Structures are given as C-alpha cells and as structure tokens.
A and B are shown apart, each in its own frame.
Chain A
C-alpha cells in the first residue's frame, strides 16, 4: 500500500445520467492525507462527482485516476481495498445488527474460500472502537438513533481499511452535536491514521473548520478550490450559493465563519443558479 500513491484525480471528467449532463469537463485533485470538503448549492453535482470519483458512475468523457491508474482498470475488489465510499441516505435490511453491518466492510478482503480471518475480526473490532459503537455491536441497526446508525455505517467503511474514504453528506439528518461527533471522527481518522477523507457537506462553517481543502462547485463545474481561509470569500458565497453573507473569523478556531444575510435569488430573480439553504437530499439521482 505504501508504494502506491493514493492521490485521487479527475481529468476532464464528464458525468451523465442518461441525457442529462451533471458534471462537465471537470479537473480536480484530492490532496493525499488531507480532509477535503466538497461544497455547493443543491443539485450542483456534488453527489454525482463523489459517485464518479468512487467509480460508481462510468464517465462519459475523461477519467478518474487513483495514483497513476485509471480506476476502471482496477478490479472492483482491488479498488474497494483502496477507496471506500459511503453514499447519502443508506438503508440496511431490517434486522441487521451493527456488527453484521460492519463485517460487510470486509468483503473486498475476503475470498470465496477465505471468508473470515483474524485480520477481519481485528478490523471490525477496531472500526467499532474508533466509532464508539462497540457496546452496540449486537443491537439491531433499525433500533438505533440516527447518530448511532450513522456511526455504524462509518464503521463499516472503516473496516474496509481503505486509504481513501469518500462520504456523501455524512452529517445530514443529524443534530448539531452528532454532526460535530462525526466530523471529529473524520478528523481523528485523518490525523491518527493518515487517511484521505472527502466529505460532501452543507454547513460552510463546519467545512471551513474541519477541512484542509475546499472544493466549491456550481452547475457541475468547480468554482474555487484551496484552503478555507483563501477560498471562503463573500464573492464566492454569492456566486456558489446565491447568498449575501458576511465572513467572520471563528472566535475559537480562527477559521472563516459565514453569517448569512439574505438570499440573492429574492433580490434578483433573473439569476440562473439556485440558491442554497433548501433542505438536503435534492441532489439529482438516477
């Protein structure tokens, strides 16, 4: 693993659902060993980009590379040992326990006649521990709170032991304390284990606070990318979200903090893009 570079790039990436082009001719590079947050208004193509980076949506043009290799050239299980993806709004079959879910993350490491190894057990236990759900291991997933369930899903992704982890809106549907808990977990995984983490987030303050690198999208293209302090400006918030806002400094962390003033869509109806702030879960999906 150490020999291979795990930098994830997209080159000229175009992603379509049927005839609809969602992401067009996009170049992006995900810095290795960092936390990257993907931001943008609803339906700007964030989730689609993440699915494309995870290899779940074949590009209509361009390619996604992990290190130097086009991910389409990798066998699915090989890719699944290097790159993990947690989709938005996942559901498990009724009755599955936390440990059973987390053990599913070991599938790429198992073979038909090599179905369970001590490493599998270690990885599952470590993942349960890291996400703080060890005590819940035999509880049914459908009996847990939203926050606990989300941590169990992240544990599944952890058990997969991939150097790169992509998470689509891992904090949506969680209350603010559980949101911070998930983000702290991502930070720990990044700091302690050197994992590359990519998050789609809606909360700009949280993104600035937890991410090392921001990728801001609008209408399937990248509007800006870079460190939060440099990227997060009033102009960018206006462009990306149609929002007039003030940018302050976070009193504790010193990262940019956004004070929303008004939606520009109500000021200027002729703008083409949609304002942010609507409920999540409206991303275009197949």
Chain B
C-alpha cells in the first residue's frame, strides 16, 4: 500500500500544503487558502471602489483612482471621495477584518460555531460602554470609542472569570456564560436608553443600530491600526491555536503553553472586537459568519486568520454598499441589515439536526 504513496505527495506536508523555502527559512503555505483569500480581497476592493463612486455626487468608477490621489478636474468629487467616502469604506474594511479575525479566534478557542463576540456578549458589553458615554456624559465620538473599548474589555473579563473552572475555559461553558452576561448587558443598555434625555437616547439608538454613515478618519484609523498590529500577532499564534483545537492536554504535551497562548489569543480577539465596535457600532453576523464561511471555502484544518479578515472585510463592504444602493424606503443602517441576515443564520446553526451547540460539527 505504501507504494501508492510515492514521490512528492509523501514528502509534502498534509492537507494540500506546500513548503515555501526562503533562504534557510521554510514556511508552510496552502495554495487553496491563498487563492480564496486573494479572491476575497479582490471582492472587497471592487466593492470598495464601487462604494467610492456612488452617492449623491456620482463619480465614474474609472475616475475614482484619480480622485483618490487628488488628481481630478472636479474639486467636489475629490472631496466626496477623499473625505467622505474613503473613511467610510476604510472603516468598513477595518471593522469587517477585525470582526472576522475576532470571530475566528473565539470559535477556535470555544471549538464551537457560536463562540463569536456578538453571541457571547462582548459586542453588547462594548455597546454598554458606549451608551454610558453617550447617555450619561453626552460624550463626543472619541470618548464614545474609548467607552466602547473599556466596555468590551470589562465584559470579556467578566465572561472569562465566570467561565473559568478548574483552570480552564470549556467551549460550551464560554458560550453559555457569554450569552448570560450579554443578556445582562442588553438589559443595562435598555435601561440607559429609557433614562437618557430624548436627544441623547435618539443619538444612542442611532449608534446602536450600527452604521457606517458619517464615518470620519477618527473612526477608521484606530481600527485599521489595530488590524495592522494585532492580526500579525494572531498569525504568530495561529499554529498554537490550531493545536488547542485538539484539546488542552494534547496541545500541552506537544509543547504548547496552553494558558498563556489562550490568554494572548483572547486579548487579541477582545481588542479587535472592541475596536471594530468603536468604529462602526455593534455590527452583528460578521464575526459569527465570516470564519465559518471562509472555513468552508478553504477546507483547512486550522483557524483561517487572514481568510477570516478578508471575508469579514468583503462582507461588511458589500453589505454597506447594498444598504446604500437599496431604494430609500428599504435602506437601513448596515448593522440592522446584518442583524436580520445573522438572525436567520443563527437559527440555522441552532437547528437540532446540526448538533453544533454541543461543539460537534462546528465547522
């Protein structure tokens, strides 16, 4: 039988991977993963370009690159593209990528498709931080952003402490505790909305619906910087993360420092989710679905970090574009739209026949 497995296939790493040698270093890459990721980046870029061209002042798609670099005949077009639409598109790309990676990490750690920051309460808790700022202090966008991050980190801390037992966090327990903490945060959010003045409450409501309208560089830059800094860290941890999926004891006996790795991964995921929420408000569905969708496309045996980032960015840019192109009567904030789609997807995940709640078949 051995004779059947001859030549290159027996010397290559398994799972459709290839070894890429650069000097003395050699890294393992998966052509299928690279191709899928490139495709998703292309989709995000194309949708982003279209989003830069449409609006109350249409700019022809072919003029968009020139307007971007400030070389065009029409100053109004340059301003619309550079100052109005570009921050919006980049906010969508940054937040989508951050949510995708955050979801990929939590789903991997929880070994469960439901382990995503919007299901396990982090997004709701981050929103609580924002609402406190808006309703109680009448704060400006920067302070709201800070409040979001603090809210997200505090919620994550509470969930993790409550979900700990015997030194480890189990997947189903993380999901259940997260749902409980998220419910409390949602109740607090409701309370804040009732207590606030009409002005503050309507502003808070707008924020809560998760919107990309009127995004400025102050929204786009933090999440973009966060993605650029944190995603490489996650990549460094991703081999260890894929070993954790085989269980703590197996990973530990292979030489992984389990608790340290998990803590680092959680920190990265929480920061990314909080930054995304600070930039665009609570956007549902992206963190839940992006890693699942990309896992089905790449069919890899490891958490798809860059793939989930690309998928998240593509999903959010396309969703935002769709929400702008829909007739005004149907046009809704992008967070509401992803919420509806995400609700249906969540129901499908929870279908008894799929059994994914028990952690089986979570891919």
Contacts and interface: CB of A to CB of B under 8 A. Distances in A.
A107 B239 contact: yes
B347 interface: no
Interface string B94-135: 000000000000000001000000000000000000000000
Contacts of B12: 121
* Interface size grouping (class) on chain A: 35 or more
Nearest to B1: A135
A31 interface: no
B250 A93 contact: no
Interface string B1-30: 110110000111111010100000111100
A54 interface: yes
A93 B251 CA distance: 13
Given A97-B301, A117-B26, A120-B13, A112 B236 contact: yes
A96 interface: yes
Contacts of B17: 116
Contacts of B363: 93-95
A97 B256 CA distance: 21
Contacts of A54: 253
B343 interface: no
Given A95-B363, A104-B243, A129-B2, A115 B254 contact: no
Interface stretch (A76-84, A169-177, A245-253, A267-275): A76-84
B167 interface: yes
A85 interface: yes
A100 B168 CA distance: 26
Instruction: Identify whether the interface residues of B are mostly helix, strand, loop, or mixed.
Output: loop
Instruction: Identify whether the interface residues of A are mostly helix, strand, loop, or mixed.
Output: mixed
B46 to A, nearest CB: 31
B15 A97 contact: yes
A95 B301 contact: yes
A284 B256 CA distance: 24
A56 B252 contact: yes
Contacts of B1: 134-135
A86 B12 CA distance: 25
A93 B245 contact: yes
B10 to A, nearest CB: 6
Contacts of B14: 97, 99-100, 102-103, 124, 137-138
B255 interface: yes
A129 B19 CA distance: 23
Contacts of A160: 254
A20 to B, nearest CB: 10
Contacts of B352: none
A80 B254 contact: yes
B246 to A, nearest CB: 6
B42 interface: no
Given A54-B253, A114-B26, A286 B360 contact: no
A125 interface: yes
Interface in A66-113: 75-81, 83-87, 90-97, 99-105, 107-108, 112-113
Contacts of B255: 75-81, 107-108
B162 to A, nearest CB: 17
A125 B254 CA distance: 19
A116 B253 contact: no
Nearest to A111: B25
A151 interface: no
A121 B11 contact: yes
A118 interface: yes
B217 interface: no
Contact of B166 (A18, A86, A103): A18
The 3 closest A-B pairs by CB, nearest first: A99-B14, A80-B255, A77-B255
21 contacts: A91-B247, A92-B245, A93-B111, A93-B245, A93-B301, A94-B360, A94-B362, A94-B363, A95-B299, A103-B14, A104-B250, A108-B254, A113-B26, A114-B26, A115-B13, A115-B27, A115-B239, A116-B19, A117-B26, A124-B14, A286-B167
Interface of A: 17-18, 51, 54-56, 75-81, 83-87, 90-97, 99-105, 107-108, 112-118, 120-121, 124-125, 129, 134-135, 137-138, 160, 286
Given A85-B253, A104-B246, A115-B13, 7 more contacts: A81-B255, A91-B247, A95-B363, A99-B14, A101-B246, A108-B254, A115-B26
